[in-house]
Chain A
Amino acid sequence: MSFGKNVIEHATDLLRVLPRLTIANIGPIAKTKKKKLSRRGDARGSTRGLGKKPRTAYFAVGSETKKMPFFIKFPKENYYKDYMFKREYPPVSLVMLQTLIDLDRVDISKPIDLAAICKTGLYSFEPSERHFGVNLTDEGADIFKAKINLEVQWASESAIAAIERNGGVITTAYYDVRSLHILRNPQKFFEKGESIPRRLNPPDDAVLFYTSANTRGYLADPEQISWERLVLAQKYGYKLPKLEDDPDYEMLMQRKDPRQIFYGLEPGWVVNLKDKIILKSIDPTVNEYFKS
């Protein structure tokens, strides 16, 4: 056996770098602790806090008389598997959206996104509790009459049809947790003086939803989306209004970049609310990081 260094040299080299001996590092020597013997009555009493009750008066849990118990019949129930890690989307119905428009809480002349809905103060969600934005539901699809450019995080098929019937446009977009915190209260973020971060890409299990034209995903091919708009119009039986002839064509065509959080503001910029100034970096390495 031949070492490059002596064993003692290795040990002294290590000792120089290792943390010093403190009370936190010291522990008891192995196999010196005695096992505590339990005396009579230490390991719970006879009734275990339940009182004097005749146990035989009740059936065992899960037993159905003269039947196969359900937990043997159906050995696995995976309905709620990983329920604590799944994404949630608190709903906004089309009736609620229509009342917001009727009461002038939301401006139709500009594109509506999550920040515009949160601005009203009538919708709240908690990103720390795995809430990932708006789920547009179809309640009140028949009464809905507004031409809007809407961006939500989840939408049902009939809700998409209700908006496109009135000449509007809808996209479903994903936001990561940090950008959701920013969208919920942009003023609080600007006051911090931080640069606007770039939006992250969707996780593996959400990629299919946000890239398919069926659900109007923001990463889908725009030519496929225009085809799917026609398909949905024939399925629900309404005449699809032409976007090209619309006077608000420019507003309806406004979309965010996949790396963008706000309309018109690019990632990497710093907004100064006090002096009404926007700071942009000229440094090529910084610009390449924020480039989409």
Chain B
Amino acid sequence: MLKILPSYLSILRSCRLITKPNNSVDIIKRYSSYLSSKPIPKDEDLPKYEVTNDPKEWEFVMRLLPDKKIPEVKEKKEYPSGWKPQKFNPNMPYAIQRTKNHMIPIYLCISHNNMRRITVIKKIHGDIWTLASDVRNYLEKLNKKKICVKIHEILGRIEVHGDHVSNLIVWAEKRNF
């Protein structure tokens, strides 16, 4: 048994202590040194195991692994979420490509401390100038005011001043984009 003097208590706190059931104190060796660390046990001492190759169990593993490619959407009778599949119309002078997640690429960009709101239409193919005039006419009828549109011909992208995301998605879905 070891009685601890109060002056040594503060120093002892840096060591690791263990109290035994009979109230005696053991000071543990520190394993920071490679000499004092425990040796690795042999393979015979390790717990034994069996190797299984059951395809039924392996299905549960395959279920957890992510797909390497985003799957294509199968045809269904109805889509309750409101999503609509794209239909290509060759008579139209322009088209909007879907994103890799099968959604229409119309976004809202907020900047300048929530003061500037700009809707962006991306992935435009074909005649971008007629699309811009169509969008402007559609929005000016709805809002009854002048609306500015900025066109990037090379990027295939249009920026409309103001928040018109939900209106433009309705406009795009009517044309089966």
Contacts and interface: CB of A to CB of B under 8 A. Distances in A.
Interface in A82-109: 95, 98-99, 101-105
Contacts of A99: 81, 83
A15 B21 CA distance: 25
Nearest to B74: A104
Contact of B5 (A10, A102, A104, A281): A10
A279 B83 contact: no
Interface residues of B, number: 41
Residue with the highest number of chain A CB atoms closer than 10 Å, among B8, B63, B66, B73: B63
Interface string A253-275: 00000000011110000110100
A186 interface: yes
Contacts of B102: 103
Contact of A283 (B2, B48, B59): B48
Contacts of A263: 60, 63
A44 interface: no
B71 A278 contact: no
A281 B49 contact: yes
Q: How large is the interface on A (under 10, 10 to 19, 20 to 34, 35 or more residues)?
A: 35 or more
A277 interface: yes
Given A102-B80, A122-B101, A276-B58, A115 B8 contact: no
Nearest to A140: B81
B148 interface: no
A285 interface: yes
B46 to A, nearest CB: 9
B66 A281 contact: no
A278 B80 contact: no
Nearest to A143: B80
B51 interface: yes
Interface string B32-45: 00000000000000
A276 B56 CA distance: 12
Given A103-B83, A103-B101, A145-B80, A262 B64 contact: yes
B49 A280 contact: yes
B56 to A, nearest CB: 8
Interface in B44-91: 47-54, 57-61, 63-67, 70-74, 76, 79-83
Contacts of A57: none
B73 A103 contact: yes
B47 A102 contact: no
Contacts of B59: 264
A190 interface: yes
21 contacts: A10-B2, A10-B3, A18-B12, A18-B15, A98-B81, A99-B81, A99-B83, A102-B79, A102-B81, A104-B71, A119-B66, A143-B81, A145-B80, A187-B66, A190-B61, A264-B59, A264-B60, A270-B49, A273-B61, A278-B61, A280-B52
Interface of B: 1-3, 5, 8, 11-12, 14-15, 27, 47-54, 57-61, 63-67, 70-74, 76, 79-83, 101-102
Q: Sorted from nearest, which 3 A-B pairs have the closest CB atoms?
A: A264-B60, A283-B47, A186-B64
